[in-house]
A = this chain, B = another copy of it.
Amino acid sequence: MKTETLEKLQAAIRDIEDFPKPGIVFKDITPLLLDPEVFKLAIDELIATLEGQKVDKIIGIDARGFIFGAVIAHQMGIGFVPVRKVGKLPHDTESVAYSLEYGEAEIQIHQDAISAGERVMIVDDLLATGGTAAAAIELVKRLGGELVAASFLIELDFLNGRELLGADVPVHSLLNY
């Protein structure tokens, strides 16, 4: 990525202290979404993490991953697949539960969303502890999909989420904190 692009992306992320709770610095991406030039740069750089590899489907993770995933799928002219919190997808689903700091969460994918052998990119705005992304990877694998990339706008390096995603999945992030 060009230095100029990196600086524009960085400048469009806003730190919010003590959100959602005291001691946490939240990375607010809404200024980036408000600026069409920077939003476009982010989309193009996320696509560039594929390094020209062919993909069949883009997976976006509920809910901010929908914003980036849907735009990437539309721009590339390929299908978009939402991975959603439990109870939101109406047809036959595959489910994976995973641990949160307190308690458990569960995400789902439609069973007919990916066919065996299809090449898949997972997109989300943030790689933090990696729990949700690891669960999304497991969903894709259960349906026989091949993970070409898991790409994130932001990675919080100090949370080591990348380690949870498995050595066989290429993980990319545009901004590291």
Residues of A within 8 A of B (CB): 14, 16, 19-20, 26, 28, 30, 33-36, 39-40, 43, 57, 60, 62-64, 66-68, 70-71, 73-75, 77-82, 84, 87-91, 110, 113
Contacts and interface: CB of A to CB of B under 8 A. Distances in A.
A20 B84 CA distance: 15
A80 B39 contact: yes
If over half of A's interface residues share one DSSP class (helix, strand or loop), that class is named, otherwise mixed; here it is mixed
B77 A40 contact: yes
Given A16-B91, A30-B110, A36 B67 contact: no
Contact of A70 (B14, B66, B87, B91): B66
Nearest to A74: B71
Nearest to A68: B70
A82 B67 contact: yes
A73 B16 contact: no
A117 B146 CA distance: 48
A97 B104 CA distance: 28
A128 to B, nearest CB: 14
A113 B79 contact: no
A34 B87 CA distance: 20
Contact of A30 (B28, B35, B91): B91
B28 A113 contact: no
A80 B34 contact: yes
B16 A90 contact: yes
A64 to B, nearest CB: 7
Contacts of A91: 14, 16, 28, 30
Nearest to A35: B79
A113 B34 contact: yes
Given A39-B79, A66-B66, 7 more contacts: A20-B90, A28-B91, A36-B73, A39-B74, A39-B80, A64-B66, A64-B82
